[in-house]
Structure 1
């Protein structure tokens, strides 16, 4: 069993056998451990537009909880490429490790079918980089952009590509979810509790 923490109520993870989903209603903060995790803590308090975001008063703490569970149980934490969580929580930058054996890689969710590039950091504890599942590197430009990107300081659009919706921005492409599950499953076999 894999625990998927902080998933959307309509998450693809909920259709996959062997994934124990924790959404807002179930409250991922009640997860006690016992299985590797895939953590998707809310990012608006940590992203490049955090200065204009309006997160709940306790929302930043959810990311710290997610880091703690990945370190305790093994697994993977997913957050935007420009997340300020890495510096705040002492997470290693790509190419480095921390004292928990954790390491970071940057990927583009476009490689797994997202309509926008959506560069993403993955913090992984429990397997070595050489044990990662195959990454389907895709060249070319994504057909869409994330709504908060691709604008000049004056607000004019840099490129003429459609923007994705908030739901699309928050959703995890099914193929990417399967990739993260594969990582967590490998951590389950390797990580000692």
Structure 2
């Protein structure tokens, strides 16, 4: 390299909202990452998002959850960001958020007025040791244009809940809380690829068409 040459750091292409403090997204230069310390609500917009809002107050076990004040509203706010700027929101399968906001049925061809649709996936496909079924709300990308994704058949090594089966000698063990929350690196990469491919112009066309 010639003397005096300099590196130009690429501008982040995707905002990651509600990431863990030790998030794998922080190693991806395409990402502008907001964890609990940075506070996603301070984000000013302007690029597609990958949103992982807190889910305990929306999950199947929400009756036993003890969310912080205002925590439940973060997922609704995140949906609005995906609708405004494009991208994807990830929440567990069965999340009450989808029913409360009347989002399209997972796996159907239905779209909402923002062009959004819901893709059901298993995080096992990207290397999670448990099945961890997940719903993705996507705005700005057609199903035919999303990045290629893997399919992994067979039973997951572990489970997200209690021991599976009555026979302890054959049952699969559950994963710990930290592993349960972590996004597999391969899935994180795919979600960023997906969000980066969304077209904000097409979102505006759907909204005002």
TM-score, L = length of structure 1: 0.92
The answer to whether the Cα contact below 8 Å between 1:13 and 1:177 also exists between their aligned partners in 2 is yes
Structure 2, unpaired ranges of 5+: 1-12, 205-209
- Is 1:124 the equivalent of 2:149? no
The answer to whether the Cα contact below 8 Å between 1:35 and 1:188 also exists between their aligned partners in 2 is no
Alignment of 1:65-104 (within 5 A): 65-94=77-106, 95=108, 96-104=110-118
Change (3 A) 1:44 1:172: same
Shift of residue 150 of structure 1?
Answer: 4.1
Structure 1, unpaired ranges of 5+: none
Residue 169 of structure 1: which of 170, 175, 180 is its match? 180
Q: Number of residue pairs matched? A: 190
Listed one character per residue, the Cα deviations across residues 95-145 of structure 1 (whole Å, up to 9, x for unaligned) are 111000000010000000001000000000001000111120110011000
The answer to whether the Cα contact below 8 Å between 2:17 and 2:53 also exists between their aligned partners in 1 is yes
Shift of residue 147 of structure 1?
Answer: 2.6
Partner of 1:141: 155
Partner of 1:181: 192
Residue 43 of structure 1: which of 41, 51, 55 is its match? 55
Residue 21 of structure 1: which of 33, 36, 39 is its match? 33
RMSD over aligned Cα atoms: 2.0
TM-score, L = length of structure 2: 0.85
Change (3 A) 1:136 1:73: same
Which structure has the larger Rg over C-alpha atoms? 2
In structure 2, what is the Cα distance between the partners aligned to 1:169 and 1:138?
A: 18
- Is 1:9 the equivalent of 2:10? no
In structure 2, what is the Cα distance between the partners aligned to 1:25 and 1:183?
A: 26
